[in-house]
Amino acid sequence: MRQSQRILPVYAGDVSGACSALFELGGMVVIHDPSGCNSTYNTHDELRWYDQDSLVFISGLRHADALMGNDERLVADVVEAVEQTRPRFVVLAGSPVPFQVGTDLAALARLGETRTGVVCRHVPTNGMHDYVRGAGLAFALLARAFVTDAREGVRAARPPRARVNVLGMTPLDFAAPTSRESLVGWLEGEGFALTSLWSLGCTLDDVMRASQADVNLVVSACGLDAARELERRLGQPYVVGLPVRGFGPALAQALARARDERRSRNAYLELRLAQSRDNDLLNGDIEAPRTPASAALALVGEPVAMGSMAAALGGRDVTARLVSPVEDARRLVDSRLGDVCVRGEEGVTRALREAAIVVGDPFFSHVCARDQRLCRLPHLALSGRQWLREIPDLMSIDPVALVGDAMRKEA
């Protein structure tokens, strides 16, 4: 019962995350599930659906097909759809029913590729995880299947501007229409050149050119697996962080250092740890950093965005901690700073108990105490379109202004 949700909604599912990551790339995504279940993704989790076309299909899995293992029907439908639509690639995404009956989607993908001649892969989603897991799997699949080492012989003279891939940008975390423009503008303003952006305003050809970049910028937890894959295969370092106001200069410096040193780094954790050491040294404590027993400010949600805001707030006489309810976030938080990864409504409630100020989706107000102040920051992956018009461009957020009024009232 610890995983039951009495008040809070659950985050968008892994299938939605995978579909969102692949939406604009010219491929065909087939969700292997009973008919009609793709409406959850299309209606609630994908803002681009009404403005752009994308080949997202449902297999229409029937009761008899599941019980009798009639996988040939799925393969035949995929072959027919490929002949009619001519996609660049095909991805099969699993759901709870094929997961429970043990459908071998990897084998079906190989069979589909043999019959169609089109690259066909599967994403091992099962509907039991959140969007970070699904999008992460999809981005990692792109890194393995479509990014090849295009460097020939000795590397040419290094260009004056560092070339950057941006990984992990989907409307589930970046719903504001100006998000892509703001991020690209920040990169260019700091002297970087964009190679590819996975995957807002991105094509498969852009993805295939990703090996030409010098460094990867991970802007959400969804992009971390792809960054690690590209580091393993191509030696590309990555930097984790989002250029919110007050943190942009430190992030730009981290990108430049990663390019020069060929070493990956988490920019917001490095800065927050440095701030913690500085504060403890000023207080005469050389055993730093320490885990705070409590924190005046709790930032709850996707860890890269919240961590970058916490770094921007550092050094302002406020103890901030991250509370991450999304999966696969342990590599993006640090317990020495009081950060925690939680699961379920009970875990969120317990983690927020000691905070005076909470920054997060308006739904979290329902698990906050009456004397706690909530700074509203709607998140599409949690509350859907409930507060869509309030979702800000994260790159334009001034964290100090966001929490300043609440901090003044608290003081």
- Tokens 């995983």 identify what position? 3
What's residue 370's pLDDT? Answer: 87
**What's the average model confidence in pLDDT over 165-194?**
97
**What's the average model confidence in pLDDT over 191-219?**
96
User: What is the sign, positive or negative, of the torsion defined by CA atoms of 106, 112, 113, 119?
Assistant: negative
For residue range 42-69, list pLDDT tens digits in order. Answer: 778 899 988 899 999 999 888 888 878 8
For residue range 161-172, list pLDDT tens digits in order. Answer: 899 999 999 999
Radius of gyration of the chain measured on its C-alpha atoms: 22
Q: Which amino acid is at 397?
A: I
5 pLDDT higher than 70: yes
Q: What is d(CA 80, CA 59) in angstroms, rounded to the nearest whole number?
A: 12
Long-range pairs, 271-276, Cβ under 8 A, ≥24:
271/247, 271/311, 271/314, 272/307, 272/310, 272/311, 272/314, 272/334, 272/337, 273/334, 273/336, 273/337, 275/311, 275/314, 275/315, 276/314, 276/336, 276/337
DSSP track, 195-236: EEEESSS--HHHHHTGGG-SEEEE-SGGGHHHHHHHHHHH--
Beta strands 265-266 and 238-240 are parallel
* Nearest C-alpha neighbor of 45 from the set 70, 82, 14, 76: 14
Q: Which helix (H) or strand (E) holds 297?
A: strand 297-300
Count, residues in the chain? 411
Q: What is d(CA 90, CA 29) in angstroms, rounded to the nearest whole number?
A: 6
Tokens of 206: 């852009």
For residue range 76-135, list pLDDT tens digits in order. Answer: 999 999 999 999 999 999 999 899 889 999 999 999 999 999 999 999 999 999 999 999
**What's the average model confidence in pLDDT over 350-373?**
93
Tokens of 314: 């550092």
Domains and CATH numbers, the chain: 14-129 (3.40.50.1980), 163-265 (3.40.50.1980), 271-410 (3.40.50.1980)
For residue range 14-53, list pLDDT tens digits in order. Answer: 999 999 999 999 999 999 998 776 677 777 889 998 889 9
Band (pLDDT 50/70/90 cuts) for residue 293 is: very low
